[in-house]
Amino acid sequence: MENTAIFLDRDGVINEVLTKRVKFVNKPSQLHFLPGVPEAIKKLNEVFDYVLCVTNQGGIGLNFLRESQLHAIHDHMISELKKRGAFIHDVAYCPHKPKAGCECRKPQPKMLIDMANKYNIDLSRSYMVGDNYTDIQAGKKAGTKGVFIGESEPLADAVFPDLLSATDWIIKDSKNSSFQE
């Protein structure tokens, strides 16, 4: 049987971005979890085989950030979550400039499809959670359900103000008999 996964966008879903405290995350000390994120990921870990992060990081292509810095940020994120009993199993990122026309930048589904192939994931039983319409588009193109963090996104299957409030719906929906083969 194939595995299930939650694909999480990073900035605006897992951590703060464009807040009073931090504009962009360019070093580990600038990564601040949004309220309830460790608890939400811990709950998702109990139900899904994988919790994966898929993130556009155009700052690399724009020379605001080096890949080594991004790896340090992601290592820090994973280790801080682990201290709280929450696990992100892997991170995929697009390093290209926003208008580079690459295949991996969301709304293209390549990051999700590559992760699905790597971990034998059934995309039809998985979810993409994001705070931008491009996240939801990438999930839909890959074949997942889409959960939008924010106020409104017509393409999404559900909309919630934050990851923690979305978690119970995701878990309940994943156990819905019509969703399982």
The answer to whether 54 and 109 have CB atoms below 8 angstroms apart is no
Written as tens digits, the pLDDT of the chain (181 aa) is 799 999 999 999 999 998 889 888 999 999 999 999 999 999 999 999 999 999 999 999 999 999 999 999 999 999 999 999 999 999 999 999 988 999 999 999 999 999 999 999 999 999 999 999 999 999 999 999 999 999 999 999 999 999 999 999 999 999 984 444 4
Instruction: Tell me the two tokens of residue 133.
Output: 């319409």
pTM of the model: 0.95
Strand-pair partners of 90? 52
**Catalytic annotation, residues:** 9, 11
71 DSSP 8-state letter = H
